[in-house]
Structure 1
Amino acid sequence: MSDVSAPVIVRLDRVLKRFRVRKDNSLKDRIVHLGRQGKRHREDFVAVNDVSIDIEAGTTVALMGANGSGKSTLLKLIGGILSPTSGEVHTRGRMAALLELGAGFHPDLSGRENIYLNASILGLTRAEVDERFDDIVEFSGIADFIDTAVKFYSSGMYVRLAFSVAIHTNPDVLLVDEVLAVGDEAFQRKCMDRIAQFRADGCTIILVSHSAQQVAELCDRGIVLRKGQIVHDGDVDEAIGVLRDVLEGRDDAASEAAAVAAPINVDSVEILGADGSRNRAFVSGERVTIRLGLKSRHPIQRWAAGFSINTPMGHMVFASNTDLVRVELPVIDGFASVDFRLDDLRLGAGTYHVHANAVASDAGGVHGISHGATFTVETHEPGLGTATADVLVAVRPY
């Protein structure tokens, strides 16, 4: 989260957006239902329902949720592309929005002409575009096609050019929808690096993404939407866990009932660095400590706790628990914490999620947290996959 003293740059106050959906889509249906009766064949759909958000300058916020949860509609409301049915949206500073593939491009104009057109829509003067034109083209990587009509561009070329124009307007607020998923992996990495640079420079970024890896890597706040309403606003790790619950159909009531039924609960999961402070980015082989916060409802003599480290696809790469390492545990009565120190965690580069659980051996009942924490790993050794190693090559005559 950003410093509380940072000024609010985006404010939504009880925003509601309603769309009218027609059921009589064909001309024949409309003629048949012409008149008063036709009203029965329209219904209102509330895409965003009573949403209030304050976003401070310099923060990077992820909007997450299932398809149809209202993420993109909310982003368009912030960008001024849509007007709210009720409530108010206030923004400050220059805003650049990359919301839809090729939005603001004219298909019959060349890439060069569309740079000037799109940049002017985003608030740049012609002199400013002249000054930044070469940088825009270089970042997009499509210099060989810059004088070709964009209607002949592939979807990836559209994204490259649109994103390049947007980021070279030096916006105070950058809005990015899932369109980046269309680009190839190398360009996605390039975009993520540039967004990270924007973040370091103090730009406010609001990002719609289904990628837990992107969210964990870039964002310091996560907002999860369900049916147009906010169900979580806060820590990114917690937001990813809430999103997983939403996608898998687990509701808050069911989670709370499971916690109440278990004699011992996992209250929190933290990832600590070698210095003991919370951390979410590590180099492969660096010391990592996984701290579980536990709470028992009564004194428990025999109990155990453990964790697993999983990839974003759900594949377990490492797991351990107090039984496996043969730790003698004291009686737990109320709150306690358990630290698992991993001195040489040789994971490959990527994003990993930590799941945790606790069990009372005699009383029965297991309670766990899915996606309790998220961290990323970098590695300097050449290689791919979820493990890393020092590789020595010897070549001999055969």
Structure 2
Amino acid sequence: MSTDISESTPVDTRPNIVEIDNVAKRFTIRKDNSLKERIVTLGRAGKRHKEDFWALNGVSIDIKAGTTVGLIGHNGSGKSTLLKVIGGIIDPTKGSVKRRGRIAALLELGAGFHPDLTGRENVFLNASILGLSREETEEKFDSILAFSGIGDFIDTQVKFYSSGMYVRLAFSVAVHTDPDLLLVDEVLAVGDEAFQRKCLDKIRSFQQEGRTIILVTHSLGQVVELCDRAILLNQGQVVLDGNPREAVADFRDILEGRRLREKEQEQETAKEKHEEVAPIDEGTVVGVTAFAAGHAVGDPVAPGADLKIRVELEHPTGLTDWVCAIQIDNELGQVAYGTTSKRLGIELQPLRGRRTVELTLHDVNLGTGKYFINASLMDMSGRHLHDLPQATSFNTPDYPLAVGIVHARPEMAELS
């Protein structure tokens, strides 16, 4: 049987710039904080006063040259540890890491800078650490200074720099070393918007030049926009390695599950502390459900669907004049939509016992992502009687043609 070569999956012939084989990293957490306690607990008893924490456990990844890879996961998932292992900052407890080419790492704010040296002196110090000779640094110095935008502060001791100035100078040095592999850990979140755009433009130019970038960020939009591939870590292990949009969607589900577990624990703790719950006197938002019309709760809410939001409220004695308020936020906490029964001109019947209010939003066109619904019981003056923040959530499915909080079907034409 013959095989049509044109229909076969193309083989990526680019070499691996990083090879990570079954890497694990262990940290020891000590429970005896003072020197006196450590001396007392020396020997066998000392084992009871320390605990092993595996930040990474069995991670195996190959990264091709010329790709941009995003590492995502919640705090403590192992992202920064993996980046430090790749950069050779720390050694793995188990496994091996192979690297090739010049590496520039932006892993910690001000790493490689000496606080008592001036910015100028630190440029030469940091550049030498990253592999540049003094002659090469002198040749690039004006470009480094111009990119950083710190001007006359270049001859000031860096201990007087703001966090933004630290990052601007460190990033400027790193990108001017012509690295084959650039490691970036959250530092793009520091600095003003103009500098962040400049950094992103530099990263895009690196991509066009075929350089390899490994990026750790909590900005999921950056991962989708910049990365060819995303690796989702959870508890030191790789959960998903592949399409950035799929990895981001899975990560949002993990975050939501974690939030719900924390909320349940808080409620259980509150019940344990308060054996007798005070009677309700101002009313309560009991719960909220959301779903697309014709679909089950939990199904994605596709663009163009009618979104139904049901709010269950309660008042034991009766509330004559009241308002039901609903707000939809995206995963960054930005308001995507909000309204109230008062805004809609609806006069609700007196609230006595339990009541359900349903809001239907027709032809909803929200962009890809996870959205959270907040509900409030208010009086007519706008005073909040009870709030239920992030009462429930829903997902809007991936839309490959665009990004953003608003869904719109694009059509582009060349006019001239």
User: Which bracket does the TM-score occupy, shorter chain normalised?
Assistant: 0.5 to 0.7
Q: How does 1:265-284 map to 2 (within 5 A)?
A: none
Which among 17, 23, 38 is matched to residue 46 of structure 2? 38
* Residue 247 of structure 1, CA deviation: 1.2
Structure 2 partner of 1:372: 398
Secondary structure in 1 aligned to 2:90? coil
* CA offsets 1:150-205 (integer angstroms, 9 cap, x no match): 11111110000000000000101000001221212221111111111111111100
Say whether 1:353 aligns with 2:351: no
Contact 1:240 1:371 in 2 (8 A): no
**Residue 374 to residue 52, structure 1, CA distance change in 2 (3 Å):** same
2:328 is the alignment partner of 1:313: no
In structure 2, what is the equivalent of residue 212 of structure 1? 220
Displacement of 1:120: 0.6
Cα RMSD, aligned residues only: 3.5
Check whether the contact 1:78–1:89 (CA below 8 A) recurs between aligned residues. yes
Contact 1:310/1:354 (8 A) holds in 2: no
Q: CA deviation at 1:310?
A: 8.2
Contact 1:71/1:208 (8 A) holds in 2: yes
Aligned residue type for 2:245? D
Q: Secondary structure at the match of 2:124?
A: helix
* Residue matched to 1:129: 137
CA distance in 1, matches of 2:177, 2:80: 22
The residue number in structure 2 matching 1:274 is none
Instruction: Report what 2:255 is aligned to.
Output: 247
TM-score w.r.t. structure 1 length? 0.67
Residues in 2 aligned to 1:250 and 1:371: alpha-carbon distance in whole angstroms: 21
Shift of the alpha carbon at 1:123?
0.5
Matched to 1:372, the amino acid is D
**Mapped pair 1:112 → 2:117:** no
Is contact 2:368–2:395 with CA below 8 Å preserved after alignment?
no
- Give the paired residue count: 301
Determine the structure 1 residue equivalent to 2:243: 235
Are the equivalent residues in 1 in contact too, given 2:252–2:370 (CA < 8 A)? no
Q: What is the alpha-carbon distance in structure 2 between the residues aligned to residue 33 and residue 375 of structure 1?
A: 61
Contact residue 47 and residue 228 of structure 1 kept, 8 A: yes
Residue correspondence of structure 1 range 91-106 to structure 2 within 5 A: 91-106=99-114
Q: Could you tell me how far apart the structure 1 residues matched to 2:45 and 2:400 are?
A: 54
Amino acid at match of 1:86: K
CA–CA distance in 2 between the matches of 1:117 and 1:61? 29
Matched residue, 2:17 = 9
Query: Of 203, 211, 216, which aligns to 1:203?
Result: 211
Match of 1:332 in 2: none
Which residue among 167, 172, 189 is the counterpart of 1:181? 189
TM-score by length of 2: 0.65
Q: Name the amino acid aligned to 2:89.
A: I
SS in 2 for 1:190: helix
Aligned to 1:86: 94
Q: Would the aligned equivalents of 2:23 and 2:97 in 1 still touch at CA under 8 Å?
A: yes
1:18-59 residue CA offsets vs partner (Å, 9 max, x unmatched): 111111011232233233211111111100100000111111
Q: Identity over the aligned pairs, expressed in percent?
A: 61
Is the Cα contact below 8 Å between 2:249 and 2:369 reproduced in 1?
Answer: no
Residues 355 and 23 of structure 1: CA distance in aligned 2, closer, same or farther (over 3 Å): closer
- Other-structure match for 2:150: 142
Deviation (angstroms), 1:372: 3.4
- Aligned pair 1:65/2:73, yes or no? yes
Q: 1:212 touches 1:312 (CA, 8 Å); kept in 2?
A: no
Please point out which of 192, 197, 200 is paired with 1:192: 200
Q: Is the 8 A contact 1:175 1:206 kept in 2?
A: yes
Q: Aligned to 1:248, what secondary structure does the other structure show?
A: helix
